[in-house]
Chains A and B, each alone.
Chain A
């Protein structure tokens, strides 16, 4: 008995000791749970700037943004990283971001700078599109889909798995791709046809990719909604070195939705200057060049160099579908309801 008590007490004591640090100039960055960055880069920034970075993660991007909005009277962070264009309207309407015109913006394409007042600055982007299992299509003597139109053909019946747009951000992006492609009326018909063609709708990306996609699981769906960079991740994280990704991405014009992630300074921060320097750090070349292998997104900066595995295997959508954030913010709910009527019933 006493021995066990000693063990437990030691563990508990170790815990209190491990968490007793309070540095001086701390900038808190609120972000979603998929945020990742190189340790070395952050340490380097901290020594050079004298600013200590503290990251707070609070669920997925939507949940984190809601927390930032609801706590706006007593903000718990200085900088927010990772609002995307399907959600940015909510943040901007709530007035939680203050404008900052970073000098790095000149190197970022206009097409990514969606907020003309620079309250939210683009930091990275990725195209949500169809991925397919190359081997499956080869062994079944079927051509991989060329566009999202193909999914309604009888030959592709029961082959595709997508995510629920009300609980998954790639799911939402794919819905937006269909809205942009077929129009605000046409997308309903498309989803009805998709449902008739036995599309499988699951809750989130993990369940779709790791649960049903034939290239990544014992599932039975060789087509999945994922990112155009996923094939590169398959190569990067393969166990044995491979030269050819096992999956392909459908990036023909008008077949993908470009998800852009933004960073912004939260209104009410008492450390505005430090917050600006942190935003600059996110937009600076070293950070931008680390984004691909940390988060599997493309850096927003044009002059950022891509790592080899990206340059070789990641693809970028040609002419992705465009739906403006103002329109998304005004219609999100109506679209989701009409989607549910078409796809679920």
Chain B
């Protein structure tokens, strides 16, 4: 395999330059301007401040707990989904992925609707078993719950995308050798899935560590993360120095986690068995007992993930005068002839355009980067650093990034501070790391033997890539595209801080309706959220189709 020696180790340069220009450059500008005249004493004072250590400590504990809970909940269903044909398999897949796009305010509303007011059924249940909780319990519990709700999709998509290549033969032979089904999962399947699991866990950890909206909204007044603190320092105190220092710490943490991850996870290769169908590995469970058990589990997941979503739909359709589509038809009415009125069709079109563009950017920049990182040339020693660099956007505060765009792209030849292009670019930055982490394990899993065999049989390197490698990673690639698409559709944090002319996206429209009192505004927000849900589900189906063809 000398193919990659020629240009393989240069693959990272284009995405690297893109990242440098759109991300590192703006962030560095903010740091440079904010840290002017900061001397050693001030650094020492900062590094010993309780602000830093309190925020950091709480962030680490919170992110670790969130990641562990997410894995605990996501892995069983991912494995069941991989192994067996359960009733409603495809719907379950879509359902588990949907939460990811929802704005935090909407998720909180969904949770609260289930939690219920006086007489709500969860509260009734709790009171019946002896707990009496009257208030929505702001703090750790809802934050972790929301993180699980959001991030199960990441683990599920990454793990199932990766695992679908595992062939039934391995597992069946393990069974023949006397392993119990649990033994097979523990001894054979989990080790095989390990690269994907570690990869997903890393992304989830970094997501929760940099959580902004969820912690602000559900964490109550005492919980905080670095992102939240950066926001408060910037917007309310205008302490650009503290904000910049905190964001440097955040970047260091991101880099540290990435390096740790590379040290901990050995090279994943040699998963040599695969098959092309996207069906489950073992098919329909044989015994009735198993079938009932699995269907029951799948149903439980459907229920717990579907309920908050259903609650949103219910709120969109149930008006004060009964059931109806009044809120939806109200979306079409611009009742005060507002300049920034968002017609639902416009918001849908904008959101779709931006999401498509962001996914295309992710593919264009992410794929070469993933290819490089999956198969680095041994002479290139900075792979870990490059990998870390590519994952850095996960540790970027949207406030700082918004400021960075404004400060950096200010001088005429590159004055696109207020260009709409910044929106898909910022979405790409957010989605890029996830794209990478989904594709890399799959690329690494492609056995060299196959590529070598194809080369021996006379295929050109281009042909090997197109005919051998691409078909083998197709599922992961589709999963990665779906995740990027979804991130862009639901992205709010970075979008709102970019100075932008009126290019409404769905989440922005939802927030606009929620910023004024009045029943119609709330109803419209819920109707808009339902549209976002429907659109996302539709987007998945389409992308899934694209992935399956060819």
A210 at the interface (CB under 8 A from B): yes
Evaluate whether A74 and B515 lie within 8 angstroms (CB atoms) in the complex, with A56-B499, A219-B112 already known. no
Residues of the B chain whose Cβ atoms lie less than 8 Å from the Cβ of A344: 221-222
Partner of B105, one of A1, A210, A220: A210
Since A167-B216, A247-B517 are in contact, a sample of 13 more A-B pairs with Cβ atoms closer than 8 Å, ordered by chain A residue number, is A11-B349, A11-B353, A15-B353, A19-B420, A37-B340, A55-B501, A55-B502, A202-B138, A206-B514, A207-B108, A237-B521, A238-B520, A294-B336
B113-A218 in contact (CB<8A): yes
A-B contact pairs, 10 of them (CB 8 A): A11-B353, A15-B357, A37-B339, A57-B500, A74-B410, A207-B105, A218-B115, A220-B117, A239-B319, A239-B326
B417 at the interface (CB under 8 A from A): yes
List of 7 A-B pairs having minimum Cβ-Cβ separation, nearest first = A237-B518, A218-B117, A58-B499, A74-B410, A62-B235, A201-B221, A237-B520
Interface residues of B in 507-523 (CB under 8 A from A): 508, 511-512, 514-523
Complex interface: stretch among A63-71, A142-150, A259-267, A319-327: A63-71
A254 to B120, CA, bound (A): 39
Residues of the A chain whose Cβ atoms lie less than 8 Å from the Cβ of B520: 237-239
Partner of A296, one of B115, B403, B516: B516
Q: From DSSP, what is the main secondary structure of chain A's interface residues?
A: mixed
Q: Which residue of A lies closest to B232 (CB)?
A: A166
Evaluate whether A58 and B402 lie within 8 angstroms (CB atoms) in the complex, with A210-B522, A230-B517, A239-B320 already known. yes
Partner of A205, one of B118, B515, B518: B515
0/1 string, A201-239, CB within 8 A of B gives 1: 111111101111010111110000010001001101111
Partner of B118, one of A11, A34, A66, A220: A220
Q: Which residue of B lies closest to A14 (CB)?
A: B353
A33-B512 in contact (CB<8A): yes
Interface residues of A in 45-77 (CB under 8 A from B): 54-60, 62-64, 66-67, 69-71, 73-74, 76
Shortest CB-to-CB span from B90 to chain A, Å, is: 18
0/1 string, B416-455, CB within 8 A of A gives 1: 0110100000000000000000000000000000000000
Interface residues of A in 17-39 (CB under 8 A from B): 19, 28, 30, 33-39
Residues of the B chain whose Cβ atoms lie less than 8 Å from the Cβ of A69: 238
Evaluate whether A216 and B221 lie within 8 angstroms (CB atoms) in the complex, with A33-B511, A59-B496, A63-B497 already known. no
Shortest CB-to-CB span from A47 to chain B, Å, is: 15
A105 at the interface (CB under 8 A from B): no
B117-A239 in contact (CB<8A): no
B402-A76 in contact (CB<8A): no
Identify the A interface with B (CB < 8 A): 1, 4, 8, 11-12, 14-15, 19, 28, 30, 33-40, 42, 54-60, 62-64, 66-67, 69-71, 73-74, 76, 90, 158, 164, 166-167, 172, 200-207, 209-212, 214, 216-220, 226, 230, 233-234, 236-240, 247, 293-294, 296, 332-333, 336, 343-344
Shortest CB-to-CB span from B539 to chain A, Å, is: 11
B406 at the interface (CB under 8 A from A): yes
A172 to B236, CA, bound (A): 10
B407 at the interface (CB under 8 A from A): yes
Residues of the B chain whose Cβ atoms lie less than 8 Å from the Cβ of A166: 232, 236-237
B274 at the interface (CB under 8 A from A): no
B338 at the interface (CB under 8 A from A): yes
Partner of A207, one of B217, B232, B407: B217
Count class of interface residues, chain B: 35 or more
Evaluate whether A58 and B546 lie within 8 angstroms (CB atoms) in the complex, with A11-B353, A70-B406, A71-B407 already known. no
B501-A1 in contact (CB<8A): no
Residues of the A chain whose Cβ atoms lie less than 8 Å from the Cβ of B542: 4
A218 to B115, CA, bound (A): 9
Residues of the A chain whose Cβ atoms lie less than 8 Å from the Cβ of B500: 56-58
Interface centre among A60, A76, A237 (most CB of B within 10 A): A237
B352-A11 in contact (CB<8A): yes
Residues of the B chain whose Cβ atoms lie less than 8 Å from the Cβ of A38: 336-339
A1-B113 in contact (CB<8A): no
Evaluate whether A211 and B517 lie within 8 angstroms (CB atoms) in the complex, with A19-B420, A33-B496, A58-B497 already known. no
Residues of the A chain whose Cβ atoms lie less than 8 Å from the Cβ of B235: 59-60, 62-63, 66, 167
A216 to B521, CA, bound (A): 11
Shortest CB-to-CB span from B513 to chain A, Å, is: 10
B220 at the interface (CB under 8 A from A): yes
A51 to B99, CA, bound (A): 44
Residues of the B chain whose Cβ atoms lie less than 8 Å from the Cβ of A294: 336, 338
Evaluate whether A36 and B420 lie within 8 angstroms (CB atoms) in the complex, with A67-B499, A202-B221, A236-B518 already known. no
Residues of the A chain whose Cβ atoms lie less than 8 Å from the Cβ of B341: 39
A55 to B220, CA, bound (A): 34
A214 to B255, CA, bound (A): 45
A56-B407 in contact (CB<8A): no
Interface residues of B in 90-128 (CB under 8 A from A): 105, 108-109, 112-113, 115-118, 120
0/1 string, B79-90, CB within 8 A of A gives 1: 000000000000
Evaluate whether A1 and B549 lie within 8 angstroms (CB atoms) in the complex, with A74-B410, A167-B231, A220-B135 already known. yes
Q: Which residue of B lies closest to A333 (CB)?
A: B237
A239-B516 in contact (CB<8A): no
